[in-house]
């Protein structure tokens, strides 16, 4: 084998390569020699065996190649962290880590041809497998490392509580908007630090068009590729969704379009899912990848919440204007403070995602104002006027042309959906489900709802 090149690789600090770089060249070559498999030709000559292990040994131990391969746990893919010797990028210029390409495999094969003295024809397939194998021994998480760096450099000035006063200006600056600044930023860094963590919060930035809602959210990401605003529909397509969310730190449901086009149960599942489970093409087994992003919504409308139970995941914030450049300027400090605040809250066992009673009361009223009118509302409220108790089933089945109390006029095959809508309307208007059921009559066994108590 030819002497190893002794020039230092321009490795990127996204992944931890210190252990590899610290090995002296001579030590690395000794390890390489010790790990190689040898064979003997018919003439008795010792040669390096054309075995998969030997390809991997060169990738892991040879000083020319050992700093070239890593696995980025954030993007969940192997990356090239330094140019392959002899490739077009091996020109002394700064190198930006990137995913493997087919030309990288070709460059490795050419290097092996020239330097390895592996017996026989160099196998491109074995070379590629060895690149993946070597990358696994040098794993790092560029998002987590970035967030930890931000925390270490935080200047101890509090900013996150002013997120919706300084960076995205809330229409109503109050206890709710102040607390939401802290909660949103801590939620944003949660999965960056703890992949797949449980998260049921979806902030919705509501404001006029062209005030910079999307640019403001993108500004929270250290890399534009970590931001996404076009999740593939339908959201139930786990393959497309899983591939799209790889390498994403923040995903925007722009103008809340997917909310209108998606079944509410599917939407709830998408928002709260902790892991993406899917079967990539050309792979036999399903993969499960912990989610690393937080999902935000944006809209320029003032009514957009369709489902009462699903609405508990939505946290609307009305904003008048935004300052993306200010967010970008303060981003490292905002994220650093959020990391410190989150870790302190977790260490103390605090429910950091909960609002104060005053802020929660404001949120309940806010959600009510954002709810779309249900077409059944007027029929239901007219039907229950003057009643003290009722079942959802009777409202659903009572004919629409009934003289006394017209109902929805649906038949027995309508399914559970209309009944759930009626129940939601009743609850929204103060009715509560009793612990009893109808004991007789045509609606026997049906749950009973009781009218709200009249205030004296």
Q: Are residues 424 and 364 in the same domain?
A: no
Q: Does the structure show a pLDDT above 60 at 21?
A: no
- Does residue 151 contact residue 125 with C-beta atoms inside 8 Å? no
| Residue 180 is assigned to a structural domain of this protein | yes
Quick one: pLDDT band at residue 401, thresholds 50, 70, 90?
confident
pLDDT for 307 equals 64
- Please indicate, yes or no, if residue 339 is contained in any of the structural domains: yes
CA geometry: angle 111, 116, 122, nearest 5 deg = 70
User: What average pLDDT does the structure give for the chain?
Assistant: 89
Residue 6: inside a domain:
no
Predicted TM-score (pTM) of this structure: 0.78
Would residue 10 count as lying in a domain? no
Residue 83, helix vs strand vs coil: coil
Count of the separate structural domains present in the chain: 3
Q: Please, which pLDDT band fits residue 1 given cuts at 50, 70 and 90?
A: very low
Evaluate if residue 3 carries a pLDDT over 70.
no
Q: Of all residues in the chain, what percent carry a pLDDT higher than 90?
A: 64
d(CA 315, CA 203): 5
Mean pLDDT of 395-408: 88
Q: Confirm if 137 and 91 have CB atoms less than 8 A apart.
A: no
Residue-number span of the structural domain to which 423 is assigned: 377-450
What confidence tier does 24 reach under pLDDT thresholds 50, 70, 90? low
- Identify whether residues 87 and 222 lie together within a single domain: no
Work out the pLDDT band at 261, boundaries 50, 70, 90: low
In angstroms, the CA 385 to CA 22 distance is 80
Report the pLDDT averaged over residues 157-171: 98
Q: Which one of 370, 385, 413 terminates a domain?
A: 370
Pairwise CA distance, residues 240 & 276, whole Å = 10
Decide if pLDDT at 321 tops 60. Answer: yes
Residue 164 is given by DSSP the state I
Q: 343 and 255 in one domain?
A: yes
Task: Kindly state whether residues 257 and 122 are assigned to the same domain.
Answer: no
- Determine the average pLDDT of the residues in 191-198: 97
Assess if residue 2 is contained within a domain. no
pLDDT at 48: 94
- The whole-number pLDDT of residue 139 equals 94
Rounded CA-CA distance 22/89 in Å is 24
| Residue 207 to residue 302: CA distance in whole angstroms | 8
Long-range contacts of 37-42 (CB under 8 A, 24+ apart): 39/119, 41/119
Same domain, 224 and 269: yes
**Assigned token pair, 60:** 């892991």
Which segment of 108-117, 187-196, 260-269 scores lowest on mean pLDDT?
260-269
Mark whether 45 and 134 lie in a shared domain: yes
Instruction: Specify whether 157 is located in the same domain as 78.
Output: no
Strand-pair partners of 48: 38, 118
Rounded mean pLDDT, 283-291:
85
Count CA atoms within 13 Å of residue 116 on its CB side: 30
- Asked if residue 3 belongs to a domain, the reply is no
Within-domain flag for 1: no
Q: Which of 370, 399, 417 is the C-terminal boundary of a domain?
A: 370
Q: What's the confidence (pLDDT) of residue 153?
A: 98
Flag whether pLDDT at 302 surpasses 80. Answer: yes
- Within 161-237, where are the H helices? 175-193, 213-219
The reported pLDDT for the residue numbered 31 is 85
- pLDDT band of 236, cuts 50, 70, 90: confident
Residues 180 and 297 in one domain: yes
Residues 331 and 387 occupy one common structural domain: no
Q: Specify whether 261 is located in the same domain as 350.
A: yes
Judgement on whether residues 151 and 112 belong to the same structural domain of the protein: no
Q: From 324, 343, 370, give the residue that closes a domain.
A: 370
Residue 108, pLDDT > 90, answer yes
Answer for the pair 342, 230: CB distance below 8 angstroms, yes or no.
Answer: no
Q: Is 424 a residue whose pLDDT tops 60?
A: yes
Asked whether residue 189 carries a pLDDT value surpassing 90, the answer given is: yes
- Cα–Cα distance for residue pair 349/197, rounded to 1 Å: 15
- Region for residue 39 given its phi and psi (left: phi exceeds 0; alpha: psi -120 to 50; beta: otherwise): beta
- With a CB cutoff of 8 Å and minimum separation 6, the contacts of 84 are 65, 68, 90, 104, 107, 108, 111
Residue 335 inside a domain? The answer is yes
Structure tokens that stand for 56 in this block: 């991997």
- The pLDDT score that the predictor gives to residue 17 is 35
166 and 121: one domain? no
> Which stretches of 65-201 are DSSP H helices?
102-115, 124-136, 142-152, 175-193
| Residue 23 confidence class, pLDDT cut points 50, 70, 90 | low
Instruction: Please state the rounded mean pLDDT for residues 279-285.
Output: 73
Which long-range contacts (C-beta less than 8 Å, at least 24 apart) are formed by 112-115? 112/55, 112/58, 114/2, 114/86, 115/1, 115/2, 115/62, 115/64
pLDDT at residue 231, rounded to an integer: 92
């Amino acid at each position: 084998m030819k002497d190893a090149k002794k020039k230092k690789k321009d490795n990127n600090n996204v992944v931890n390569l210190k252990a590899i770089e610290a090995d002296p060249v001579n030590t690395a070559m000794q390890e390489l020699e010790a790990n190689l498999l040898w064979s003997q030709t018919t003439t008795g000559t010792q040669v390096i065996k054309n075995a998969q292990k030997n390809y991997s040994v060169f990738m892991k131990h040879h000083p020319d190649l050992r700093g070239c391969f890593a696995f980025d746990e954030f993007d969940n893919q192997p990356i090239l962290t330094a140019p392959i010797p002899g490739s077009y990028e091996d020109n002394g210029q700064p190198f930006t880590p990137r995913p493997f390409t087919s030309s990288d495999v070709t460059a490795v094969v050419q290097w092996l041809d020239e330097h390895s003295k592996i017996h026989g024809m160099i196998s491109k397939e074995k070379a590629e497998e060895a690149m993946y194998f070597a990358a696994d021994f040098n794993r790092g998480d560029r998002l987590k490392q970035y967030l930890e760096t931000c925390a270490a450099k935080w200047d101890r000035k509090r900013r996150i509580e002013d997120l919706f006063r300084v960076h995205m200006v809330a229409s109503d600056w109050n206890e709710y908007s102040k607390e939401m600044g802290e909660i949103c930023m801590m939620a944003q860094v949660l999965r960056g630090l703890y992949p797949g963590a449980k998260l049921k919060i979806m902030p919705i930035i509501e404001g006029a068009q062209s005030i910079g809602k999307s640019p403001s959210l993108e500004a929270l990401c250290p890399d534009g590729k970590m931001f996404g605003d076009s999740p593939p529909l339908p959201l139930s397509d786990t393959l497309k969704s899983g591939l799209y969310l790889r390498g994403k730190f923040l995903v925007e449901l722009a103008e809340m379009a997917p909310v209108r086009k998606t079944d509410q149960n599917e939407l709830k599942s998408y928002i709260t899912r902790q892991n993406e489970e899917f079967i990539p093409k050309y792979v036999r087994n399903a993969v499960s990848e912990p989610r690393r992003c937080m999902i935000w919504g944006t809209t320029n409308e003032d009514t957009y919440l369709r489902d009462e139970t699903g609405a508990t995941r939505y946290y609307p914030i009305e904003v008048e204007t935004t300052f993306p450049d200010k967010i970008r300027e303060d981003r490292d400090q905002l994220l650093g403070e959020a990391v410190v605040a989150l870790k302190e809250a977790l260490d103390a066992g605090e429910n950091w995602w909960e609002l104060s009673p005053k802020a929660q009361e404001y949120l309940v009223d806010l959600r009510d104002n954002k709810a779309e009118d249900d077409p059944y509302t007027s029929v239901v409220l007219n039907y229950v006027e003057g009643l003290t108790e009722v079942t959802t089933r009777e409202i659903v089945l009572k004919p629409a042309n009934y003289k006394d109390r017209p109902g929805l006029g649906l038949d027995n095959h309508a399914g559970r959906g209309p009944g759930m809508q009626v129940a939601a309307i009743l609850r929204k208007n103060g009715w509560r489900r009793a612990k009893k059921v109808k004991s007789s009559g045509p609606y026997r066994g049906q749950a009973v709802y009781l009218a709200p108590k009249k205030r004296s």
